[in-house]
Amino acid sequence: MKKQVQLIFMLLLMPIGMLLAQQQVQIMGKVTNAEGQPVAGVSISIKGRLNAITATDEAGKYQVSASNGDVLIFKGLGFKNAERTVSGQSAVDVTLATDLTNLDEVVVVGYGTQKKTNLTGAVATISGEELDNRPAVSVSAALQGLAPGVTVTSQTGAPGGDQGSISIRGINSFSTASAPLVIIDGVAGDLNSIDANSIESFSILKDAASAAIYGSRAANGVILVTTKRAKGAFNVVYKGYTGWQDATFIPEVTDGRTFMRVFNEASKNDGGSEVYSQQNFDEFDQLYAENPDNYDWQKAILSGDGFTHNHYVSLSTGTEKIRVNPSLSYVKQNGLIKNTNFQRYNFRNNMDINPNDKLNIKLDFSANNRDRLQIANEGTIWNYLGRMPTNIPIRYGDNWSDGWVKNNPVGFIEDGGNRKINNIELIGNISLTYKPVDWLSVTALAAPRYRTRNTHNFVKALMTYYIDGSEAGSAHPSTELTETAYREFFGNYQFHATASKTFNDHSLSLMVGTSRESYDEKYLMGYRRDYTYDTYEVLGAGADTETKQNDGTQTQWLLVSGFSRFNYAFKDRYLFEANLRYDGSSRFIGQNRWSTFPSFSAGWRIEQEPFMANLRNKINQLKLRGSWGILGNQNIGTNQPFSENLAMGGISMGGIINQLVTQNTLANPTLRWEETTVAGVGLDATLFNKFSFNFDWYTKETDGILLVLPISNLHGLNPPYQNAAKVQNKGWELGARYDNKWNDFKFGLGFNFSDVKNTILDMRGTQIGSLLRQQEGSSLNSIYGYVAEGLYQTQEEIDNGPKQFGTLQPGDIRYKDIAGAFDADGNAIPDGKISEADKTIIGSTIPRYTYGINLDFGYKGFKFGAFLQGVAKVDGYLNTHYVIPAANSSAIKPWQLDYWTPENTGAALPRLSISSSNNTQNSTFWMKPASYLRLKNLHLGYQLPTAWFQSAKIGGIYIYANGQNLFTKTNFYEGYDPEINFDASADQNVTLGGGNFYPQVKVYTFGLDIKF
């Protein structure tokens, strides 16, 4: 490591001694739009050189040094690029023509940039400005609905836990997570560790043509994040907002009298006696009248203020030689329940050094510190939010009541312990780009990344009491502390060279490079219990007995790669691109260690054809694209999936305990990469410089997915993973945008829509899972259960129906008899009874359709924006006490009162029962459509006239009000968010059945942006 640092230092210093002075002139000027108004933020650079980059200030003015013959390039968002040649003049004023479609936009791609018009792959771009109107702590959640083909699900609004789960063009595998690779300024990183205000742009690489350059880590797509850099003009920016949060959905519950009445009826339906006597009702009425709040569990649980605020300050300044862009941000979220919050500090400094025309040095550094505070075993709190029987008080006097089975969620919040998570991350990024001649550039990069993750989980044994004051006991047998610590180091080293040449009608570019990525993780754990002093939360204060535990592991992997990209364009009309990546991973051995990932793509810019010359002022772009390629996935199984961990233990022999080491699972040294083959075609069009349109159709097939297949018992070991399964995603995407301007009025309307169909093609005849199912011919993460055919209305119907579960009564659920027997041709036929053979795929948790609608208005200083987002053709599933009335002694929700009785035969729910095993079976009866339309963001702001504070040297003040998740239209269960099944912490990002999660939140904020 020391030698590597010395080498980098020498590389940085060596070119500085080779600088040659040039005779230059100072050029000043002003950039305006067609109406003569100044344009701020326009970047000015010199064609073919790396230095002399600056930008216009708020008055549209700039200053730059250049030599005679130099070509100045002016680039501004929403305008066509302009070029001016220096020929001795000292003043160059420029008027930029409006280009609302940004055809001249330069897009960041793997290890380089390309003009948007020359892209042949499927690349979606998102400006950092699109996040300005969506104050969000987690950047991943803010991307929801912004790009076609990109599905973002977010189950929770928990402070520090509201990250979105991202999938690009479907889910490829059930053996690994579906998250895309995130690259921040050329280096793999965490999307949620950065502040959204520091982001310049996103490039989302969706197909093999664009993503194959990242090879074995690109099977799930790639998100490239570019952070903001100084452009030369001095400015200081402050952005801040403050606001509060409310839950989007909370399961409303009825009062205690209703609870007791329902359970009495359920007990009688089961042949029992009434659970609650009239005396119980009278006692409840008396105690409730004395203190109604003592029975309002939801009010007591949701007692947090939900306050949130965010502050961001950045400085951008520099000269032609050195530019810096330091920024500092702080965000804090308080929870909907007390003693929960999240806070994050971010510091970033991007520095550019341009010693001469041929050399560029980037020295970037970022640090972030994240602290999350939770209640110990917080899932229990949310479980009882809609479950706690409403005839039970929160307290008996000053004591915590015994709640339900000694679980008192309000007591847990106040006195039940805590869970603290701290993440500290330091990232350096040093790159050197040298351009010896105009057609060649060479880049070397070193980017070390260090991260620590520490978790402190302190669970207190909370004593609860009966009404007479005697101790009822604790849900947790003892007070205990678990401390875990991870230390991680990522090493990333890259070298690549790009040669570009244009002659006659031919343009060629070749990039070749190599990289080395490494990872080293150390894990330590300590556990103690039986604390005498339960306010002293350190391991040493726990009992020093045989109950104490400790553990430690180390994990490492290495990835070495070579990569290249070739681009060719003829007359800027016919485009071709080829990518090749050659990866070697320590996760595999033998001939499977190395693999090649190629891609090819082509494009035809039809608008450049001579026969389109008369239409170019109307059809500004019309491009056909096609691509094919192979992507890989090395993140399968453990870090060395070809080997199996040895089990450690002990055995007693002759009164002596001996160490025992054994292998329980057969190893498979032939494991290889999962490979995804992608093919697709696309169409990009721009009309009248106002309307843009893109369409893509694609097919993806992932082969070699890990699967456990049966082996002979003669091996004496458990079967290993094998590369056996295959999954396909087919779909299409549509994106459209219209922008126009009439004098002081601006209007924009954007729309995106995606359709993806996911199918498991091959599992070698096996299946995985019960309720959450992986099965051939169905989609990943399907829902598996019985088909419900309504409710039995009479005993005659029961007698004539199939044999089901337990003793049936009118009002019970009737299931469809599908199989169990076979006809003469071997086809499954009903057998007169309901069994496992009658279960089938009943739903899918993968949204078939996703969409987003973005509406923008602007008039003078006023700005209004609305963003709607949704999904369609997707199913959700809840069971047990979350939806079944009288299950697990749960509180009764108002909609659960529509249950079957002889007087209410058209009820939505089955008869009341405490003990029925028939009505609790997983079936279509408890499955609901999880489609929704959400008003994701609503924004109203005003840019104060600069004349009001010009003398104060303030460049601009913008004030706004913002709302997120304000409205949701869905047919899912009342009181539960339709995204509740999407659990980012689960293996497949899906958890079915439960509703014990922190809810999504509505966020109301008021903000202020100031520029100096």
Residue 839 lies in a domain: no
pLDDT greater at residue 743 or residue 849: 849
8 Å CB contact between 869 and 851: yes
Placement of tokens 């339709």 in the chain: 978
Q: 120 and 213 in one domain?
A: yes
- Angstrom distance (rounded) from CA 466 to CA 473: 9
Strand pairing category for 181-184 and 222-227: parallel
Give me the pLDDT at residue 233, please: 75
Q: What is the pLDDT of residues 681-740, one digit of tens each?
A: 999 999 988 999 999 999 999 998 888 888 888 778 888 888 889 999 999 999 999 999
Residue owning tokens 């080997």: 643
Predicted confidence band at 19 (pLDDT cuts at 50, 70, 90)? very low
- For residue 722, the cross-strand partners are 707
Q: Under the phi-then-psi rule, with left for phi > 0, alpha for psi from -120 to 50, and beta for the rest, what region is 865?
A: beta
Question: Per residue in 803-817, pLDDT tens?
Answer: 999 999 999 999 999
Q: Give residues with Cβ within 8 angstroms of 825, minimum separation 6.
A: none
Chain centre to alpha carbon of residue 342: 18
What are the backbone angles phi and psi of residue 96, rounded to the nearest 5°? -90, 135
Separation of alpha carbons 98 and 437, rounded Å: 34
Query: Sign (positive/negative) of CA torsion 107, 600, 174, 148?
Result: positive
pLDDT digits (tens, 9 = 90+) for 494-541: 999 999 999 899 999 999 999 999 999 999 999 999 998 888 999 999
Mean pLDDT of 293-299: 96
DSSP H or E segment with residue 208: helix 208-211
511 CB-side CA count, 13 A: 23
pLDDT higher than 50, residue 8: no
Q: Please indicate, yes or no, whether residues 110 and 228 belong to a single structural domain of this protein.
A: yes
Q: Do residues 207 and 146 share a domain? A: yes
Cα 71 to Cα 47, 82, 200: the distances in Å are 5, 10, 25
216 plus 145 within the same structural domain: yes
Residue 17: pLDDT above 90? no
Are residues 175 and 215 located together in one domain of the fold?
yes
- Flag the least confident range among 131-140, 207-216, 337-346, 571-580: 131-140
- Residue 11: per-residue pLDDT: 40
Distance CA 825, CA 187 (A): 59
Co-location of 164 and 81 in the same domain: no
Within 33-70, strands assigned E span 43-46, 54-55, 61-66
> Does residue 124 have a pLDDT over 70?
yes
Whole-number pLDDT of residue 655 = 78
Are 169 and 142 within one domain? yes
Please count the helices (runs of H) and the strands (runs of E) in the chain.
9, 55
pLDDT at residue 829 tops 60: yes
SS3 of 543-575: the string is CCCCCCEEEEEEEEEEEEEEEEEEEEEECCCEE
DSSP 3-state assignment of 481?
strand
Looking at residue 20, its pLDDT comes to 34
Is the pLDDT at 775 greater than 60? The verdict is yes
Assigned domain for 490 exists: no
Residues 86 and 121 grouped into a single domain: no
User: What is the chain's length?
Assistant: 1012
Q: What is the mean pLDDT of residues 85-109?
A: 78
Please give the Cα distance from 944 to 957 (Å, whole number): 6
- Residue in 628, 559, 642, 627 with CA at minimum distance from that of residue 595: 559
Mean pLDDT of 195-199: 92
Question: What pLDDT does 455 receive?
Answer: 97
> Is residue 180 located within the same domain as residue 71?
no
SS3 per-residue string spanning 847-907? CCEEEEEEEEEEECCEEEEEEEEEEECCEEEECHHHCCCCHHHCCCCHHHHCECECCECCC
CA angle (880, 884, 888) in 5-degree steps: 55
Based on its alpha-carbon atoms, the radius of gyration of the chain, rounded to whole angstroms, reads 32
Short-list 597, 599, 514, 596, CA closest to 560 = 514
The 10s digit of each residue's pLDDT in 621-640 is 999 999 999 998 877 766 66
* Whether residue 201 sits in one domain with residue 174: yes
Cβ proximity of 925 and 788 under 8 Å = yes
Residue 620 lies in a domain: no
- Answer yes or no: is 89 within a domain: yes
Mean pLDDT of all residues in 592-607: 93
Closest CA to 514 of 443, 592, 455: 443
Do 132 and 227 share a domain, yes or no? yes
- DSSP string across 771-819: SEEEETTS-TTEEEEBPEEEE--SHHHHHHS-B-SSS--TTSEEE----
- Tell me how many domains the chain contains: 3
CA 369, CA 331: separation in Å to the nearest integer? 11
Name the least confident of 242-246, 471-475, 507-511, 670-674. 670-674
Torsion from C-alpha of 149, 140, 489, 486, nearest 10 degrees = -120
Output the domain CATH number for residue 193.
2.170.130.10
Tokens of 253: 């519950």
Buried b (16+ CB within 10 A) or exposed e, 478-511: ebbbbbbbbebebbbbbebebeeeeeeeebbbbb
Is residue 90 in a domain? yes
Q: Are residues 160 and 80 in the same domain?
A: no
Residue 630 located in a structural domain: no
Provide the 10 A C-beta neighbour count for residue 911. Answer: 25
Residues linked to residue 238 through DSSP beta bridges, in sequence order: 313, 1010
Domain membership of residue 607 (yes or no) is no
- Assign residue 65 the CATH number of its domain: 2.60.40.1120
Give CA–CA dist 665/529, Å, rounded.
33
The yes-or-no verdict on residue 914 having pLDDT over 60 is yes
Give CA–CA dist 719/709, Å, rounded. 7
d(CA 603, CA 621): 12
**Torsion angles phi and psi, residue 779, rounded to 5:** -80, 160
At a CB cut-off of 8 Å and minimum separation 6, what does 952 contact? none
The answer to the question of residue 412 being in a domain is: no
H, E, C per residue of 432-452: EEEEEECCEEEEEEECCEEEE
Torsion of CA 65, 71, 77, 78, to 10 degrees: 130
Percent of the chain with pLDDT over 70: 96
| Residue 516 buriedness (CB in 10 A; 0-12 / 13-18 / 19+) | middle
Q: Is 834 helix (H, G, I), strand (E, B) or coil?
A: coil
Give the domain extent around 194: 106-232
The answer on pLDDT for 889 being more than 80 is yes
